[in-house]
Every structure is written in C-alpha cells, then in structure tokens.
Structure 1
C-alpha cells in the first residue's frame, strides 16, 4: 500500500467513499438502535459542528482527532509557502482488546520508539492519539513503511494527512513568529505568540478545524465496514492566505551566509530600494518555530526590530543636520590631530586624519570632524533631522481601522529607538559630541538603518517598510491589498533638501572608493555605504557592535542593506563590512 501524496486527494476520496457507501450502512445502524431520533430529511452526521440530539448520539459512536486547525497560511512574494505542508502521520486508536502487543516490537520500530513505551501509552489511551517523536513532532511514515504498519495493527492504526505548520529546523525568520496553546480556551486552538502569527491573529484564526474520525460499537471496537470520515468547515473562503513581501530564496541564502560567516548575534535586513519592501530579514541567533520556549525571549526576539547603539552610521544623520541647519559648508576644512582635546574624545586613527572636508570626514569616519559638528548643533536640530530621516520613531507599515482592527501593524514589537535619553542633559556640549558620533543614548534598529538608506535614495522621502502585501480568501479572491506607501511624518517635520541627500550619497560612494569600506571595491556591483562601530559593555566587559549599511548598484540602486554584528570582540575586524559585501554579491547573482 502506498501513501497518497496530497492530503486534499485523501480527503476527497474519503468523502466520496462515505457518501457513496457508508451512508446506507450507517442509516441501518441508526434506524435499529436510535430510531427515536430519526428525521425525515436524513441524519446530519457532522461530529464536531453543532449540539442537536442527532449529533450528540452520533458523537457517542465516533472517535476522532484534529488534523488541521484551519489557520491561515503564509507565502513569500512569489507564492512559495512559508507555512503549511502535509505529512502522513500515524493515529493510534484505543486498543480495547490488547491486540497491539502481538506485534509490539515491529510496531515500535516503525513508530521510532521502544516496545515498553509504546504499549504502555497505547494501553492507557481513552481517545485517538497522533503518535509523536521525542520532540513532540508527528512521526512521519514513508510509503515503504505504510503497508506494513497498517497490516500489523488493522483498525488500531490509521495514517492521516496531518497539517504541519513549520519545518522543524532553526531559521532566522523571527518576523513570522510561532504559536502556542492556550489551555484557558475551550477549543484549545493555537494562538499567535509573536511575529506575524500574533499581529495577524484575528485574520488567521479561521472558522474551524478538520477532523478525521471512525465509528465504533458500544465496546469501542471499530466498525471496520464503515470508512474513516473527514469533517471540515464548509466555508469556501477560509483559511485565508497571507502573501508577504519576503523573497524566500534570498532569505534562505542570507541565512546560510550568516551561518558560514559564524555570525552569532545580530541581523541582516534587505529592502527593495524602490519602495522599502522587506525582501529578507534575518535575525541571529536562529530559532525553531516548532520548539519555542516563550520564556526565553532572547531566542525568538527579532533583532532586526530591536534598537541598539549605532556608532558611526549615525554620522549620516549628524552630517544631514549640520547641512540642513547651515552650521557647515560642504567644503569647509577641518583638522584632525588624533585627539580632540576635550570630553576625553579621540579619533579612531591615533595619528589623526589631517585636513579634510565634511564629505572626506564621512568617508573615513573621522570622529574629530563630527565632534565639531556636535558642538555647533543644538539638540533640537539633531533630534528633528533624525526624526525626518525615519529614526527615533517606528517606521514599519501600518494602517488604522483596517479589517476591523483599530491599529493594523504587521511588524511585531518594532522599537522606535532614541537620540537623547529621557533624563539626559542634551544642552551639555559633551553629550552632543558623543551623540554626534552615534554613542551615548542613541539607539537605532537594523530596519531603521536600512530604511535610512532608502530615504536618502529618495531625496529624503521616508517610506514605510512593508512585509505583508496581500491577504486572500481560499478561492484566491482578494480580502485586503496593502499598498506600499510613505511613512507618516511627525507633526511639524519637513523633508531634508535634495542637495543634502545627494551630498550624503556621494560621501557614501567615497566610503567604498577611498574610505573605511575600501574592502568592497572589487565586488560584483559598485557599492556605497557607511560603516560603524559602537562601543558598549556586556557583563562589565567592553564589546563592539559592528555595522555596515548601504546600497547597490550605484548606477541603478536596487537594494538597501543593513548588517549588524552584535557583541563582537573589540580587537576583531569589522565583520559587518565583509558580510555586507557577501550579501551584495548574492543579490547580484540573483538578479
């Protein structure tokens, strides 16, 4: 006997068999033993649908189990499934006569367990059970094993097409989230605990489960002449399907890159340079959505949405603020001697950079140049420019009063970051100097950092990164379209000037051609960007957060990318720059 390949085929065959052969036999049984509940229009046999006397009587003659929660599914931008899939799993029915013991050793081997454990569990069964492995995953039966398994325990084991939501593998898709069971709900249906599973919960929950069941006699022995029955909701609009903006091949390849480059903690975000759609978002360390401990947030938290010290990538904001407020001219000359002379500040280049202008200072990431700018700027100018560029606020796609939800915000727990701390004296010039180089209280998420690049490519227009594109009914018709759009601007804010955005783009090109990103000069595309190293403490020990953000190709930008490497050794080279180059090579090959 072979195992059918598709669950839908199995269900159709079972329904046809039931309608064509089982109805007459079932009616005869019911006429003989339950004649008093007989109806003129036939007997409704939906085991899990309602609460009529007819249904309650039928329920006493059946044993069943859920094989699909009816929850909505996710796909990538091309329609490739991100959730869902069918595996053929064994269902054990109560063994009232102890027949399973006759072939205990052979059954245990096929079910990936030992004889004692199998028979002990089987003996205590009061209802059907999907047999699972030690990790709680349904045991998958291959075609070569199916016939033998069913022959060893006829009527005690059935193979059913079980809907498996996730692949049982670690990955960096924390934006998708995971599910957990809530015991306080009568139905015990899964609820979204994080990511899109949580933010889209009201739409994903569906209209009911699919059950497979069998009929038994008064002693709970199976009625073998009546086939298994599948009961499913009859609403053709559900389950819904959510099409994301994610490009699954790119997501998977970047996940592999983070593995091969030994990235322990951090994130990689790839946005479409045209409209800020999220094409890939990888968070390290990986998590396994099939096996999540909700208490261990460090595993399943999405680091791409968590704010962290940005270091020198924030110099793009400082430069923009200085240009917008007129406290600097592009060709003004600065002098870097290695030490700044106050606030304990020094440039990373001990011997100094010599004489250089703003653009050159940004290319080589000179601390002295930006310390001067920090002293000249006031707190309001720095804060206003950061906000105008999409920082210190959430930027993910959102809409009010959509699909009955007061606030529709797909990106889960996106942090807004900060420029100045709530208790910081921003009027202190020493505070502003530290802020100007991306230290002190400045916090930025990798998503914001990638979106900052998109903003500069669009001459200061902030887009709202989108991760959900379309929500469809089961028949393919559209429930919701979620169009790309600009992010809402804070009250009183204005866009930066086109000339400012152009100056910063030219400076980012020089970062690669003659600055801190020189290692990227021989990549598949001509690239531009900005590196950053933020100093921090972890458990009392100094560590660095390494960044590189940028775009490519320069001639016709297609992708904006942010790479964050967290908690790196203070003596290590900038791993983020190297990984950024690998990501861009991958994108060039995929184009």
Structure 2
C-alpha cells in the first residue's frame, strides 16, 4: 500500500516539475516578448525592474505641416541628470558655468530625484549646440546633453490632429494579429486615429542605467543609449495644414470670442485643408467633453447658406428668371416681416439680401417638379456625402483620412418632402437640413472651380523617418454627379452679388484686399437659453473672385440673435491670408 502511495507521490511531483519547467520555458524562451493576453514584454519588464531610464523619443510618429514643420512634436537639446550623482563627487561647477546657472540649481534638481530628470522639468532649460558639445566632452557619468522629443504645448489644430491614449480593449480589437504591449499608445480621435496603424511605435529611444535593489549602481556608472534598429521609423504624416495660417486662424477665432464653432480654410487648387479651427478647445477636465468634438466635421443647422443649393436647382429648371418678382417684406407664411422690409425683389436681388420668402416659394415650385430635387442638388454639391479623401492604400481598400466626418442631410422622411410647409422651411436651410462646415467649404470650392467636385485632403503623404515617401495621397474626384459649368458660373455671379449689392448680406466685405464671393446664413436652432432662442451664424465663400484660390467658412454656433456675428472673423481671416500670400511672394 505504502509503495503505491510512494509511486503516486513521486509521479505527482514529477508532473509538477514538468509543469514548472514548461512554465519556465514559456517565460524564458517562448513568450519572452509577448507574455499573457496583455502581450507583456518580459525582457523589457525585467530591465525596467533593475534600471532607471529616460525616454528621449517614445517612437510614435508625428504630424508635419505642408512645409515639413512639426505640428505635434518639438525636439529640444536638454540636460539629463541621473540620481546617482548625489552619491558621488562630480564637477557640477563646470556644468553650471557652461549653461549659465548655479551649482545649487543642479544639486537641488537631483537631491530628491529617484529617476533621471530633465533640468527645468516641464519647462526645460534649452541648450545650444556648443553647450551640448562642451558638456558631453567632459564625459561626466550621469550627465548628458541630448536631443529629446517633447509634445508641443498649445497644440495647433488639436481636434483635427486628435488625441492618443492607452486602451487595451480597443488595441486588441484594432490589431488582433499584432503583438503589441498593452500600454501602447493608440490614436483615439482625429488623424491620430485615422493614421494610427502607420504611427504605431517600433520602439523607444532612451538612456538606460542599471541599478540594484537600493538604487545603487549595478555595473558602475555606465549609462547606455538604446534605440530601435529600424532606420525608417517612426514615420511622419505630412498634412496639408499651413502652420502660419493655422496659428493666425486660432488667434482670430479666439479674438472674436467664438466659444463654439470655428473656421475651415481650403486651398482650392489642391482641395486641401490649409487651416481648421474648432472651439471649444480640448479641456483637461474629464467632465467637459465638448472640446473633443471637431465641430467643423459635425452636422449643423446651416440656415440661408442652403439657398445656394436651391439657387442651383432653380437655375437648371429655369426658375431664376429675374422678371419674376417676390415680396421680400413678408415671411414665408405670408405675414408681414417685422425685421426685413426689402419690398418687391427679383431672383438675383433676393439671393443678395437672402430673402426667405423668395427661396421658400422657389423650393415649393421645385418640389412640384421633383420631390427629390433638393436632395439631388445637395448631393451634387457634396453637402450630404462625406468629402474627405478615401481610397486604397496597402491592405486597406476603404482608408479614410477624416474618419470623424459626418454626412449631411436634407430630409428625414418621405412625408416631409411632400409637405409644402416643410419644403418651404427646407428651402431656407431650416427644418431638418443639417450640413458640416467642411462640406460647405467644399461646396464653395466646387462652385469656384466651375463645378469640378474633388475630395478634401488633410494629408499629402506619409514620410519615412529619412524624409522619403512611403505613401502619396494624390488629388481625386468625388464620386457622383456634379453641377454643370454653366450652373457654377451663374452661382458665382450670385455669390459675388451678395457682396457687391449695396443691401447684400456680404456688403461688409467690399473693401477687403481680395474680392470675395459668398453667402451668409443665420439659423434658428430650437435651443433656448432662458427665453431667448440661440442661433447658428455662418458666412461661407471664396476668394479672389476672378482667380479663386481659397474657400473659407466661418461659423459661430448657438449664440443669441443680436450677438456673435461671424463677418468680422471672416474679414480678418481674408486679410490674414492676403498678408500671408504677400509675404511669401517677396
């Protein structure tokens, strides 16, 4: 009996030993870099347990403006100090003399440090190339002058570029076949999300110092520099943003007190985003989420800007006859208008002063021709489709540069298309009409180009670390029908009349350095603050009129009727573009 028991116990212990050996093989040999479902790199974890390190570059790719300047990262030459310095004699006086500070500043910096620190912390002391050379020539262990990448403070175009974060569940969904550490940063919004697969880090660049359990030197004071072996990564996304125009656009949006809204500036020739601003800014408070939204890509009530669509349909259906006269002292229901008393006007003048009664009437006439006609023309002008660049790159057949862009709409139901009252409201951009500012900017660019409809680009190429091209995003046409060159030409005249007409809603722009064509819009939102309804205020147009180069949309969302006009913002942005073009022409 005892013999069987001994055999059983022996077999049990042998099995346990085999299991332990198998586990050891798994940990030490098989899954050293991708342990458990979290893909923990055991080698790195082991090194971290017995080392101190200073990350110089986390390895994630960044974003450049159209001239190659970084929008998200800034490389600074800084002084790195390792904590073991406080336990040894070192020539702090020479270092202090080189950088123009005191010995006390240096010793205080490392006095309580448990990890390597940057002199100056969040506001690092920047060194010159000569200072960097002089410091490193001293070869003091634990003292290094190095180039370190920092995230840009007050980041430009922050909603467009987007944010990153750690999200283990999303990481697994997005990259089931990739072996990535659970703490890998991924893009959560904006272009960070759209281009995430290209921006993923290939490894960190860092200074590493090995320590024992007490934090003392393990192998002396030797600090090693570690970097990924791939010379082509990380890549950079070269955007179409002009950094100078983006900076001034952000300043102007804030100067004109836009709390919710912003602007979109398109380069018409390349149909690319030169600047895009959305407010409010991204708030660090987790309970304030509005700033995460890029309102230039979100559906908004557009108001009278939609009359441009009605005008296009009217032109093609011969309803733009200036012999027809409309009562522009009446509301669309026939009641006297207490605010606007424009009298009897023809089609052209009605567009210039944005007469609601005219375009409500024309919308009803168009409905009788074809109940789908307003939707058809909105689609021709790319208001109800996404406008961002889409195409095939590598294994992705439906890559989208602007993943967060919403589609617009005209009606929500078939019944609404048949109801003359709903159609009348639709004709003036109210009721169920919703469009995005970027789509409105693209509509203006389409009209300015004579009806040629193109996709909007926010990135021109993906560059390797050495500057060579990995992927190039060529201009491409948007699918679907568009307006004819004749219709575009007639719309151009109408949009210019808005500015040239002495009573036009864009008459404020007559003295700008560029001739402007465009359309205003003031939309009732149905949102009330107290007893007063809030409005969306728009101006959308392009310039110069004779040789169009830029399309611009400025919008102020959810403001009172008697405040928050966008004309001053639009005008100042046109002036800023003019100054920019003049300075670069010299």
Which bin holds the TM-score, normalised by the shorter protein? 0.7 to 0.9
Match of 1:511 in 2: 498
Cα pair 1:283 1:303 within 8 Å, conserved:
yes
Match of 1:469 in 2: 460
Please state if 1:356 is matched with 2:348.
no
Cα pair 1:347 1:366 within 8 Å, conserved:
no
Match of residue 140, structure 1, among 124, 132, 140: 124
Please state if 1:229 is matched with 2:220.
no
Deviation at 1:267, TM superposition (A): 1.5
The separation in 2 between residues aligned to 1:422 and 1:107, in whole angstroms, is 73
TM-score under structure 2 normalisation? Answer: 0.78
1:202-241 Cα offsets, whole Å, 9 max, x none, are 0001311112112346754226865321111111111112
Equivalent positions of 1:163-312 (< 5 A) are 163-165=149-151, 167-169=152-154, 171-182=156-167, 186=181, 188-216=183-211, 220-222=215-217, 226-287=221-282, 292=284, 296-312=288-304
Match of residue 588, structure 1, among 578, 581, 584: 578
Match of residue 410, structure 1, among 395, 401, 410: 401
The separation in 2 between residues aligned to 1:201 and 1:90, in whole angstroms, is 31
> Tell me, what secondary structure is at the counterpart of 1:575?
coil
The separation in 1 between residues aligned to 2:428 and 2:253, in whole angstroms, is 28
The separation in 2 between residues aligned to 1:179 and 1:418, in whole angstroms, is 31
The separation in 2 between residues aligned to 1:131 and 1:508, in whole angstroms, is 56
The separation in 1 between residues aligned to 2:404 and 2:253, in whole angstroms, is 23
TM-score under structure 1 normalisation? Answer: 0.77
Match of 1:576 in 2: 566
Please state if 1:71 is matched with 2:73.
no
Q: Which stretch shifts more, 217-226 or 60-69?
A: 217-226
Relative to structure 1, the CA distance from residue 423 to residue 90 in structure 2 (aligned partners, 3 Å threshold; closer, same or farther) is farther
Please state if 1:374 is matched with 2:363.
yes
1:497-530 Cα offsets, whole Å, 9 max, x none, are 2222111110111110111111111111111111
Match of 1:389 in 2: 381
The separation in 2 between residues aligned to 1:355 and 1:329, in whole angstroms, is 15
Match of 1:488 in 2: 479
Deviation at 1:399, TM superposition (A): 0.9
Match of residue 436, structure 2, among 445, 456, 471: 445
Relative to structure 1, the CA distance from residue 585 to residue 546 in structure 2 (aligned partners, 3 Å threshold; closer, same or farther) is same
Deviation at 1:143, TM superposition (A): 5.0
Relative to structure 1, the CA distance from residue 54 to residue 284 in structure 2 (aligned partners, 3 Å threshold; closer, same or farther) is closer
Deviation at 1:538, TM superposition (A): 2.9
Relative to structure 1, the CA distance from residue 219 to residue 391 in structure 2 (aligned partners, 3 Å threshold; closer, same or farther) is closer
Deviation at 1:566, TM superposition (A): 1.1
The separation in 2 between residues aligned to 1:455 and 1:287, in whole angstroms, is 31
1:521-559 Cα offsets, whole Å, 9 max, x none, are 111111111111111133454011111011111121111
Relative to structure 1, the CA distance from residue 52 to residue 457 in structure 2 (aligned partners, 3 Å threshold; closer, same or farther) is closer
Match of residue 316, structure 2, among 324, 336, 340: 324
Match of residue 551, structure 1, among 542, 558, 566: 542
The separation in 1 between residues aligned to 2:328 and 2:400, in whole angstroms, is 48
Match of 2:584 in 1: none
> Tell me, what secondary structure is at the counterpart of 1:243?
strand
Match of 1:23 in 2: none
Cα pair 1:396 1:466 within 8 Å, conserved:
yes
1:46-70 Cα offsets, whole Å, 9 max, x none, are x999999999998886433433111
The separation in 2 between residues aligned to 1:281 and 1:78, in whole angstroms, is 17
The separation in 1 between residues aligned to 2:220 and 2:406, in whole angstroms, is 60
Relative to structure 1, the CA distance from residue 423 to residue 213 in structure 2 (aligned partners, 3 Å threshold; closer, same or farther) is farther
The separation in 1 between residues aligned to 2:75 and 2:429, in whole angstroms, is 49
The separation in 2 between residues aligned to 1:58 and 1:312, in whole angstroms, is 63
> Tell me, what secondary structure is at the counterpart of 2:417?
coil
Equivalent positions of 1:36-47 (< 5 A) are none
Deviation at 1:330, TM superposition (A): 2.9
Relative to structure 1, the CA distance from residue 479 to residue 341 in structure 2 (aligned partners, 3 Å threshold; closer, same or farther) is closer
Cα pair 1:170 1:287 within 8 Å, conserved:
no
Cα pair 1:171 1:286 within 8 Å, conserved:
no
Relative to structure 1, the CA distance from residue 49 to residue 433 in structure 2 (aligned partners, 3 Å threshold; closer, same or farther) is closer
The separation in 2 between residues aligned to 1:500 and 1:111, in whole angstroms, is 71
Equivalent positions of 1:418-437 (< 5 A) are 418-422=409-413, 425-437=416-428
Q: Which stretch shifts more, 81-90 or 517-526?
A: 81-90
> Tell me, what secondary structure is at the counterpart of 1:377?
helix
Cα pair 2:142 2:221 within 8 Å, conserved:
no
Deviation at 1:312, TM superposition (A): 0.5
The separation in 2 between residues aligned to 1:261 and 1:270, in whole angstroms, is 17
The separation in 2 between residues aligned to 1:57 and 1:516, in whole angstroms, is 68
The separation in 2 between residues aligned to 1:375 and 1:48, in whole angstroms, is 67
Deviation at 1:476, TM superposition (A): 2.1
Match of 1:564 in 2: 555
Deviation at 1:187, TM superposition (A): 5.0
Segments of 5+ residues of structure 1 without an aligned counterpart are 1-46
The separation in 2 between residues aligned to 1:56 and 1:386, in whole angstroms, is 56
1:463-492 Cα offsets, whole Å, 9 max, x none, are 111010011112222111100111122xxx
The separation in 1 between residues aligned to 2:355 and 2:427, in whole angstroms, is 11
Deviation at 1:242, TM superposition (A): 1.4
Match of residue 486, structure 2, among 483, 499, 515: 499
Deviation at 1:131, TM superposition (A): 6.8
Cα pair 1:75 1:244 within 8 Å, conserved:
yes
Match of 1:18 in 2: none
The separation in 2 between residues aligned to 1:53 and 1:501, in whole angstroms, is 63
The separation in 2 between residues aligned to 1:224 and 1:96, in whole angstroms, is 15
Please state if 1:542 is matched with 2:525.
no
Cα pair 1:383 1:419 within 8 Å, conserved:
yes
Q: CA RMSD in A?
A: 3.7
Deviation at 1:571, TM superposition (A): 1.5
Relative to structure 1, the CA distance from residue 348 to residue 78 in structure 2 (aligned partners, 3 Å threshold; closer, same or farther) is farther
Deviation at 1:408, TM superposition (A): 1.2
The separation in 1 between residues aligned to 2:239 and 2:123, in whole angstroms, is 30
